[in-house]
Structure 1
Amino acid sequence: MLLLLLLLVSASCLWLGHSEVVTSFESSCPQFFFRETPPNEALEPENPAWICQRYKNQYYFATLYDRDRRIPVYSAYLYQPGSGKRPRTWLVEPQLMGAAYPKTVEREWTLLKYFNVSLEQLSKSQAILQDYKNLTGLNRGHLNPSGHHNDPSSKAVTFTLTNIVPQNEKLNGGAWNNYEQQTMIRNTQGCNTTYVIVGAVPGNNYIAKGRVNKPSHLWASACCEVDTKHRKAWAVIAENDKNEVQLLTLGELEDMLTQLYRRDQVSLFDSDCPRE
């Protein structure tokens, strides 16, 4: 029986992948940021978690997570779109409960059945599937969408609950989807490498009996390397109760986020990325 249990857990870990809660992106997974420079501290929440998402010993993206509001602050990744099936399996982050737990991204039932974790224990550290059930006018909005990745492994890793927020249903399926699928294709023409950071501004409302914050705005930014001497950038922002997306320069988005967060001046990318 013990051997069977070990085999089941081992198979689960091999299939799913790995995440790491780290102390900084600069030292652990800097490759998802232009010039290996993450956003400055102006976006950091009071109780942050830095997560490097890894699958089969390869990192796929980085997420700054707000432990208190149980939503991501932003996810950063390289834009490498491709066809393929949309994953269906939702995952959670065991290490948000503590460093003693597995580095593997797991399904809820795997943790509950094989790692002696209770649902209450898991729910204290992050959002769970129950939080996103029976929503009205909202759905699970990816910051890092699976469609911006080109292989099954990278697509699968985007389906962690630490990469989604409660997003207006019409916005998610409408103007925001148009940006992800159409505007990004147009804007990345001629780009060799495109660094993307997508985020959510915390709002005043919550779902799941006050457990999970509903963002007031969603935003996205990109810095594209055309060649060694030329770069271009763009950004968008959307209110999370309207089916509208506003196209901005990178500098305009940083200024808007500075006003919305009411803290220090926001800087999303290294200074060599054009702001105008």
Structure 2
Amino acid sequence: MVTLSLLSLCLLSLLGVRGEVAPNFDNCEDSFFRNTPVSGLKIALPTPIEPNTQGLVNPAKCLSAYNAASPAYICQRNGNNYYFATLYDHGRRIPLYSAYQMDIEGVPGREGSIVYYEPQLVHPDLPPEQMDKIESSREIGKYNQNNECLERSPQYQRKYKLGWSQALNENFGSYDRGHLNPAGHHKEDASKATMTHTNVAPQDRKMNKGPWNRYETRLKDVLSAGCSKMYVVTGVVPGDTWVDQNKRVNVPSHYWNAYCCTDNNDNPLRSGGALGPNTNLSVVTEYNSVTDLETELRRLLNVDNNFNIFNGC
């Protein structure tokens, strides 16, 4: 087992990071209404601890993110630009929510496909922008070489490290990779940035392509009418089901959405949201205020009154 001193070194290394996986959302706070993230959502499971470190060389450095704090605060970055914020549950390997400003005026469209991963979930010292599997593997390989993390040890192999830190494409079984921040609410590069595995969770296929898709379209085409800005947070309620018996990736019991519509001075005009069970018989319930949605979510998430999605909307 990793000793307490080694764990302390890992945490100190993480706290010194000023990249895109950090202890806060400072680099992407404009994704939230009044620059205020969701509060009171303390439900993330601890980061999985590598059970077998016997005989490993330099595990504190070579497994530096395996004992990082959970949840992870991700400012989703593609290239040199920040596009949205994600609170990522290390223990369940799913996002708890993604927050963004909708592109109200832009032509909606799905750009790219879900290919990206977050290298800094593997090691805080890796590059901050999203990368596909080949690029991620290359960067992990460089890290291994520079830190003498010999890949003859299974725990140091590239795919093992990537899959330990986040869900891989093959970990979703029969479920769809359901977007929290949907590609269709953005255009061009912003749409491409949503195509990361840290922005998707297992979603029932019929729900994803049916009632939830219809609600996302309604949110873009109808509910945003008359808004100068539309702040959106989409999240999940973690469930009791896992994709496989090894409990690597959790299957949410519900998907939820909240929005805050503001005028050209960023003053709130209205709020609302939606909630739907993650099943093939899902019926999406809409709410005319975020307050009503929060009341139901506090019950489902088992959190107290400190849980608030928006600050004053």
Match of 1:236 among 252, 274, 278: 274
Q: Which position in structure 2 is the counterpart of 1:3? A: none
- Which of the numbers 270, 273, 276 marks the counterpart of 2:311? 270
Partners of 2:238 and 2:268 in 1: CA distance: 34
Within 5 Å, give how 1:69-88 maps onto structure 2: 69-80=92-103, 81-88=106-113
Cα gap change, 1:89 to 1:168, in 2 (>3 Å): closer
Q: State the Cα distance separating 1:155 from its structure 2 match.
A: 1.1
Pairwise CA distance, 1:230: 4.6
Q: Does the Cα contact within 8 Å between 2:110 and 2:183 map onto a contact in 1?
A: no
Q: Aligned pair in 2 of structure 1 residues 230, 121: CA closer, same or farther (>3 Å)? A: closer
More divergent stretch after superposition (251-260 vs 40-49): 40-49
Q: Give the Cα separation in 2 of the matches to 1:110 and 1:92.
A: 9
For residue 219 of structure 1, what is the aligned residue in structure 2?
Answer: 256
* Contact kept? 2:76, 2:129, Cα under 8 Å: no
* TM-score, reference length from structure 1: 0.85
How many residue pairs get aligned? The number is 249
Aligned to 2:146: none
Range 78-87 or range 190-199, more displaced: 78-87
| 1-structure distance, mates of 2:139, 2:87 | 28
Structure 1 residue 84 displacement after superposition: 3.9
Equivalent residue of 1:121, what SS?
A: helix
How much has 1:190 moved relative to structure 2? 0.4
How far the C-alpha of 1:45 sits from its partner, in A, is: 1.5
Counterpart of 1:170 in 2: which secondary structure?
Answer: helix
Q: Which has the higher strand share?
A: 1
Provide runs of 4+ in structure 1 moved above 4 Å: none
Cα deviation per residue 1:9-28 (whole Å; 9 max; x = unaligned)? xxxxxxxxxx7101111x22
Name the CA distance, whole Å, in 2 between partners of 1:85 and 1:141: 14
Flag the 1:203–1:191 CA change in 2: closer, same or farther, 3 A.
same
Indicate how the Cα distance of structure 1 residues 200 and 85 shifts in structure 2: closer, same or farther if over 3 A, else same: closer
Amino acid at match of 2:122: M
Q: Is the 8 A contact 1:21 1:49 kept in 2?
A: yes
Aligned to 1:30: 29
Partner of 1:118: 158
Alpha-carbon distance, 1:34 to partner: 0.5
How many Å separate the matches in 2 of 1:56 and 1:206?
33
Per-residue CA deviation, residues 198-228 of structure 1 (Å, 9 max, x unaligned), is 0001000001432100000000000010243
The Cα RMSD (Å) is 1.7
Partners of 1:73 and 1:89 lie apart in 2 by 18
Alignment partner of 2:99: what SS?
A: strand
Structure 2 matches for 1:67-106, cutoff 5 A?
Answer: 67-80=90-103, 81-106=106-131
Deviations 1:51-85 (A, max 9, x none): 00123322100000000000000000011052445
Superposition map of 1:14-163 within 5 A: 20-25=20-25, 27-46=26-45, 47-80=70-103, 81-113=106-138, 115-116=140-141, 118-132=158-172, 135-136=173-174, 138-151=175-188, 153-163=189-199
| Contact 1:175–1:245 (CA under 8 A) maintained in structure 2 | yes
TM-score scaled by length of structure 2: 0.75
SS at match of 2:274: strand
Q: Deviations over 1:23-51 (max 9, x none)?
A: 111x2211011011111023452420000
Change (3 A) 1:56 1:108: closer
